[in-house]
Amino acid sequence: EVQLLESGGGLVQPGGSLRLSCAASGFTFSSYAMSWVRQAPGKGLEWVSGISGSGGSPYYADSVRGRFIISRDNSRNTLYLRMNSLRAEDTAVYYCAREGVIVGATGGDYWGQGTLVTVSS
């Protein structure tokens, strides 16, 4: 059974940092691209970042480029999102999603339950 479990969310002050993790199981992790998608309270979905199965090709939305870093450890079946210089507008539930071979091409067929990040003083 495919499972994705996010962790690492919480309350952080503006300008602070957090690292989210997404532990994957039930499939060959390195064979799939992965993405982070967020949803601000009461708002729609926003694609944030994606990475190829090998980890060699990271992609970012303009809203987070230069502040967020996506990475993966295929030996630990874990996806990460390092978030720096956090702003109030980064407050959202962050989901990790399994993609196909190409980020953004075939959609996220499995999603985690999400982890809430709140940026506030």
Q: Which residues in this chain contact other proteins in the complex, by CB under 8 A? A: 35, 37, 44-47, 50, 59, 61-62, 95, 97, 102-109, 111-114
- Cβ 95 to other proteins shortest distance, Å: 6
Nearer to other proteins, 40 or 88 (CB): 40
* Adjacent-strand bridge partners of 22: 6, 79
Distance CA 97, CA 114 (A): 10
3-state secondary structure of 109: coil
Cβ closest to other proteins, residue 13 vs residue 113: 113
Minimum CB distance to other proteins, residue 53 (Å): 14
Decide whether 38 or 86 has the Cβ nearer to other proteins.
38
Residue 61 class from Cβ within 10 Å (0-12 exposed, 13-18 middle, 19+ buried)? middle
CA–CA–CA angle 82, 67, 41 (5° rounding):
75
CB of 13 to other proteins, least distance (A): 27
Please report how close the Cβ of residue 64 comes to other proteins at its closest, in angstroms.
11
Identify residue 73 by its one-letter amino acid code.
Answer: D
Q: Which is nearer to other proteins, 44 or 75 (CB)?
A: 44
CB-side exposure of 108: number of CA atoms within 13 Å? 19
